[in-house]
Structure 1
Amino acid sequence: MDLLDDVLADNEYPGRGVLWCTTGDGTALCAYFLTGRSPASQARTLRLTDAGELVVAPTDAGEHDHLRHYVAARQSANWLVFGNGEQVSTVADRLARGQAPLLALDGLDYEPDPPIFTPRLTVVTDTEGRQAWFGAARHSAGDRTATNRLTLHVSDLAPHGGVLMTTYRSNGQEVATGAPFAEIRTTAETRTDLLDQLWSALPPHLRIAAAVFTPGDLAGADIRHRPIIGRCAGSR
């Protein structure tokens, strides 16, 4: 497995990413990050609401855009759900109705943003951090419009082990859908360590915000974001 730093450094534009990993003593950590190229994409931040949700919100008073502004993480008594779009709320509601994680992640679709058709990435973990279910709704590499749905169940991570999904993969010239998943190693021992490692590995001119939190303690998330910029418009 490659270090988290090396995996991200080898990707000129990771887009949005979800990570589940462990520290040296086996403590589970979760992370969500955003990078963006356009002014509208960069005019966002991560914040915790009074309801205890982690949301991707505009930095200005602009109108809500369901592809750019959404609940990125929600926690209940039994589950933590995080990801890169409005499907996070859908999955959390399904879990609240008693559905198992595999069923809760089923039936999701990629984003309607041609030509890249951004994957929808979602992670479900129990609040003790013992196991996680990753879901990715992806567009076919060919001409099919039907969604490819990948579900990955991960448990018993070795110390400093982890699984990473990113929406995009780029060599600096072209942008494509990211790899299905990557198994990584991290040197982090605390939430702050992981946030430092993640933030420094993201492309400085593209990074927008990142949050690291432990299952069962979303309200204690460590959050970092780029300096707030003013109102702007444009594509994602």
Structure 2
Amino acid sequence: MQDLCKLLRGNPYPGRGIVVGRGCAYYWIMGRSANSRNRVFTLTEDGIRTEAHDPGKMEDPSLIIYHPVRRMGGDLVVTNGDQTDTIVQAGDLWAGCRTRTYEPDAPNFTPRISAVIHEDGGFELAILKRDPASASGRCLRELFFYEAADEGVGYFVSTYQTDGDPLPSFAGEPVAVTLPSPDELWDALDKDNKVSLYANVRGTVTLYNKNLGD
């Protein structure tokens, strides 16, 4: 098991990230471009959405404005894109992810990462990414099921391994990590590239937005 904060402090750009564990869900966004950095998290009736901090500076909203977190009955859905709505409409993580693919943002082909946390404490994680061995751009759909997690343990996935050009996609299974407090996690994210953080710890939701002075 690895120290999540140590992993993040040594990584300038993991991109968007999800961490889920017992009674805990974290989701953050980062940005390198002005358009990606011009965002905040806001609360909605059943979760959160991304919004432009300065609407007058918003350029293409297609891949950066979405609902990262929504309720699906008694379950909680957390994703890095508009597949949140697809999963909620399907009522199931795998059913939703079977209809989607990675993001069309060549040359990065950003993976879609998604999680569903169930009422009974179990959870699922999915990664949709471009197969690097496929000339046609075939999508790899990886799904991981967890009956539960030990206290203080989370499972971490991100869109990228680190900074680069093009950005290298996340590889391997979700990483078992220690669960920090929301403040510790926010402080561990790169100060130049972090944008917003959603923290849900045993039902208590905290939002961090760099553009609002957090």
**TM-score higher than 0.5:** yes
What is the TM-score of this pair, normalised by structure 2?
0.89
Determine helix, strand or coil for the equivalent of 2:81.
Answer: coil
> Which amino acid in 2 is paired with 1:152?
F
Q: CA deviation at 1:66?
A: 2.0
In structure 1, which of residues 9, 34, 46 is the aligned counterpart of residue 29 of structure 2?
34
For 1:155 and 1:11, the matched residues in 2 are separated by 30
> Which amino acid in 2 is paired with 1:139?
R
- Number of aligned residue pairs: 210
Given that 1:19 and 1:163 are in contact with CA atoms closer than 8 Å, whether structure 2 keeps it comes out as: yes
Matches within 5 A, 1:106-185: 106-128=98-120, 130-142=121-133, 143-170=135-162, 175-185=167-177
Given that 1:125 and 1:133 are in contact with CA atoms closer than 8 Å, whether structure 2 keeps it comes out as: yes
**2:191 aligns to what?**
204
Matches within 5 A, 1:1-236: 1-22=1-22, 28-49=23-44, 51-61=45-55, 62=58, 65-95=61-91, 100-128=92-120, 130-142=121-133, 143-170=135-162, 175-188=167-180, 193=181, 195-214=182-201, 217=203, 220-228=204-212
Q: CA deviation at 1:228?
A: 4.3
For 1:202 and 1:35, the matched residues in 2 are separated by 9
Tell me the alpha carbon deviations over residues 206-232 of structure 1, each in whole angstroms, 9 at most, x when there is no partner: 0000011147x4xx4100010249xxx
Tell me the alpha carbon deviations over residues 23-59 of structure 1, each in whole angstroms, 9 at most, x when there is no partner: xxxxx1001001111111100011102x233101111
Gaps of 5+ in 2: none
Determine helix, strand or coil for the equivalent of 1:71.
Answer: coil
Q: CA deviation at 1:68?
A: 0.6
Gaps of 5+ in 1: 23-27, 230-236
User: Percent sequence identity over matched residues?
Assistant: 24
> Which amino acid in 1 is paired with 2:13?
Y
Judged with a 3 Å threshold, the aligned counterparts in structure 2 of structure 1 residues 76 and 136 are, in CA distance, closer, same or farther, namely same
Judged with a 3 Å threshold, the aligned counterparts in structure 2 of structure 1 residues 44 and 213 are, in CA distance, closer, same or farther, namely same
Q: CA deviation at 1:9?
A: 2.3
RMSD: 2.1
Q: CA deviation at 1:170?
A: 1.9
For 1:153 and 1:141, the matched residues in 2 are separated by 24
Q: CA deviation at 1:176?
A: 0.8
